[in-house]
Structure 1
């Protein structure tokens, strides 16, 4: 398969937000469209926890991206008008430096010797990469989920370098419920003997722990209403049941979770997952304001912001989106707040193009580059 990923070597050493440094750091990205000036038409896109930078198809990689319906010629994020650059998070395992990368000091993967990761590190690395590419100002900084946290951190840390913000299903800090879910996922991974204290071999790792963590993740990403509509109490076919396993899977929802979990295992490094998940729990915009959310958001100087969430999202509830909107409004930003009735829960922004596409298209169309 062709690969549209490109790479930037960022400043060395790269200082980490909560201490430590990386002797070398690489950031992977993909881009669509043509830049104007030093970023007059540029959109910086941050991802959620698990996606790569492959947000949309291109001539170099025609496979569908994770936001395929949103990005491209004539689409809501129109690459005939905008230059879109999607960053693979520092700490991830899709080309950017992370726990699975080789530590130049030892010649082996960092594993759990990778420095503690923060949302701020993801943002600083993205900023450094874009500067190296000659892009120092953005028409819009956008992101969903973890990517929305990145947007808020970027906006607070780099005022004067953007015009607009798009924050979808994000948070100024995680709720206890979200922290609890992610904590359980991390415990499932660490409890797998194959995690080996974090020092598993490249061809090994905590596959069972990752399988269970992904199941819990999928449950938290979607909604009970969707499960009821899609599966009800439908049973698995006799041939699909775990016949030799006492009290094993019998319902279609169980089969669906198993399918998604097995597809995920092996495609994402376990330690990268742990580091990124933990970074989401650590993030708090109030840290940028001496413990005050209002002070943490005060440096944000966007002209306009789109803030959106869905009523069925348990992980980043819609109340948190109203909180973001209110704090941005208090900072003097013109805010467009959208509470959507999507049934797919937190994953709605990946699926519900009928609601999300017009909203983004209208927002960007009101401020053409």
Structure 2
């Protein structure tokens, strides 16, 4: 087990949509041990905002963003599997991105950073795998944006993995998701402190980030959950104004927004958000996703969705699963009845832990991977 490590790639990295950097750094963490056959490696592509710290370890006991999922005896069992999580290229959690220092200027890249694509995130993560001596993965795992990145990864390397776990993801962004993220970006760039990306630590576009996070939280969860959780209960945590801060749900959104304001760089958020909207796994293929993934050679796949997810709805999980089945891949679709919307994979440990744990036990049996 290890705390966050940095892989320094000291060669030019070309971006899909143009531009290149002379070098990049990628933050990653690992759990478990790579077996002698190098056959038990699992790569997690993350959602938009997480770091590489998916789970705690001896070197870093802080709880990870997927703590219930990754670890000894957990659904993705690190006593069997060597688990790798890479912080996305373009993020601000240790990997090179718009918040990183441009060596030519000594200042953050901000809007001078090359336009980012999910294909770039996949390609960068493949560099970490090569650095770690991992050839073919046992499994690719991708929740949310990470599931989109796994499709980019498989298009780049159809033999990249033998098994796939796609969670609450999509082959492309739908108009509703694009609309939400577009409004979030507009909230950030219309903040007076945005200054065309030249904001400072002393004049951060806080209000824009605050509103963007609130809108995000509305789309990440579900009305069903909030009715049961908050109802019309009132509160007094924050100063009340006539236009708001009267109800528990408002305080919930405010608390979530305040936690996020200083935890994520605004420019990185825009770059990653835009990359999601531009992604189309079937780009350039007249016959759609089946043509795009025609060369993929997976042994099995599990596609999981949530019935209350409005960002990545059930029909998108169905399209991924149907395509993989059409390609002759042993594929199972699980639509889980969770009230927690898109974020269910982060918080609904009972539903997700059971299904994911069962899948990885079946992989271990199929691959003869012993603890």
User: TM-score scaled to structure 1, two decimals?
Assistant: 0.96
Count of paired positions? 364
> Which residue in 2 is equivalent to 1:112?
111
For the pair 1:28 / 2:11, whether they are aligned, the reply is no
Could you tell me how far apart the structure 2 residues matched to 1:8 and 1:295 are?
34
Could you tell me how far apart the structure 2 residues matched to 1:275 and 1:208 are?
19
Could you tell me how far apart the structure 1 residues matched to 2:355 and 2:10 are?
37
Could you tell me how far apart the structure 2 residues matched to 1:361 and 1:128 are?
28
For the pair 1:242 / 2:255, whether they are aligned, the reply is no
Could you tell me how far apart the structure 1 residues matched to 2:44 and 2:195 are?
35
- Note the 1:133-144 alignment, pairs <5 A: 133-144=132-143
Change (3 A) 1:294 1:30: same
Match of 2:277 among 277, 281, 296: 281
- Secondary structure of residue in 1 paired with 2:79: coil
Could you tell me how far apart the structure 2 residues matched to 1:350 and 1:129 are?
25
Give the C-alpha shift of residue 327 in structure 1. 1.0
- Note the 1:56-205 alignment, pairs <5 A: 56-205=55-204
Residue 103 of structure 1 contacts residue 109 of structure 1 at CA under 8 Å; is this kept in 2?
A: yes
> Which residue in 1 is equivalent to 2:340?
344
Could you tell me how far apart the structure 1 residues matched to 2:220 and 2:253 are?
12
> Which residue in 2 is equivalent to 1:363?
359
Change (3 A) 1:39 1:106: farther
Residue 155 of structure 1 contacts residue 301 of structure 1 at CA under 8 Å; is this kept in 2?
A: no
Could you tell me how far apart the structure 1 residues matched to 2:150 and 2:202 are?
35
Could you tell me how far apart the structure 2 residues matched to 1:35 and 1:308 are?
27
Could you tell me how far apart the structure 2 residues matched to 1:203 and 1:363 are?
48
> Which residue in 2 is equivalent to 1:260?
256
Structure 1 unmatched ranges of 5 or more: none
Residue 153 of structure 2 contacts residue 160 of structure 2 at CA under 8 Å; is this kept in 1?
A: no
Residue 10 of structure 1 contacts residue 125 of structure 1 at CA under 8 Å; is this kept in 2?
A: no
Residue 38 of structure 1 contacts residue 135 of structure 1 at CA under 8 Å; is this kept in 2?
A: no
Give the C-alpha shift of residue 289 in structure 1. 2.6
Give the C-alpha shift of residue 37 in structure 1. 4.2
Could you tell me how far apart the structure 2 residues matched to 1:364 and 1:256 are?
35
Residue 300 of structure 1 contacts residue 328 of structure 1 at CA under 8 Å; is this kept in 2?
A: no
> Which residue in 1 is equivalent to 2:225?
226
